[in-house]
Amino acid sequence: MIEPGFLRLLVCPASRESLREATAAELAALNAAIARGAVQNRSGTKVAGPVDAGLVPSSGSVLYPIQDGIPILLTGEAIPLRPAS
């Protein structure tokens, strides 16, 4: 869990939107897709393991994973939450 004061300082590096913590439902849906082998991050790398926590911009378009309590706010590491149209 990210400290609320720190979270208010963070923004999406691509869109500059505010970020919020991913919901349990978002993480469950993402992890189900990962288990099916259907998830790649924006850089095209297959996401191999489950995601325990993440930050999502207000648009809900991507998830930035949190690893060992550290938000990975790199655009290439963002995991799309919506299928490409």
Distance CA 49, CA 35 (A): 8
Taking only the tens place, the pLDDT of each residue in 13-49 is 999 999 999 999 999 999 999 999 989 999 999 999 9
Is 57 domain-assigned?
A: yes
73: pLDDT strictly greater than 60: yes
Percent of the chain with pLDDT over 70: 96
Q: How many domains does the chain have?
A: 1
Is position 23 within any domain?
Answer: yes
Question: Which residue range is the domain that position 44 belongs to?
Answer: 4-80
Q: Is residue 71 part of a domain?
A: yes
How many helices (H) and strands (E) the chain has is answered by 2, 5
pTM of the model: 0.92
Note whether residue 85 is domain-resident.
no
